């Protein structure tokens, strides 16, 4: 039972950490970060590549 409680505590700590806003490392030479709020993440894309962000259509 004690082992299960310890594992539950570690799991909760690990799950809570990604929820915090983390600073991204500098992009490598020739790349830039693209923020994607839809997936709550970021994409590393080569410079010069185009990224089309479409808004959801409402009627």
Q: Rounded CA gap, 46 and 33, in Å? A: 9
Q: 7-11: long-range contacts (C-beta < 8 A, 24 or more apart)?
A: none
Token pair of 35 as six digits? 């923020």
pLDDT at residue number 4: 72
- pLDDT of 20 reads 54
Per-residue pLDDT of the chain (59 residues), as tens digits, is: 777 777 777 666 655 555 555 788 999 999 999 988 888 889 999 999 988 877 777 76
Q: Are 35 and 44 in contact (CB under 8 A)?
A: no
Distances (CA, A) of 45 to 31, 36, 39, 55, 58: 5, 12, 16, 20, 29
Q: Supply the pLDDT for residue 59.
A: 66
């Amino acid at each position: 039972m004690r082992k299960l409680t310890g594992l539950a505590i570690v799991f909760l700590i690990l799950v809570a950490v990604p929820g915090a806003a983390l600073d991204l490392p500098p992009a490598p030479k020739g790349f830039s970060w693209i923020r994607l709020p839809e997936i709550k993440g970021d994409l590393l894309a080569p410079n010069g590549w185009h990224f089309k962000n479409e808004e959801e259509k409402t009627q």
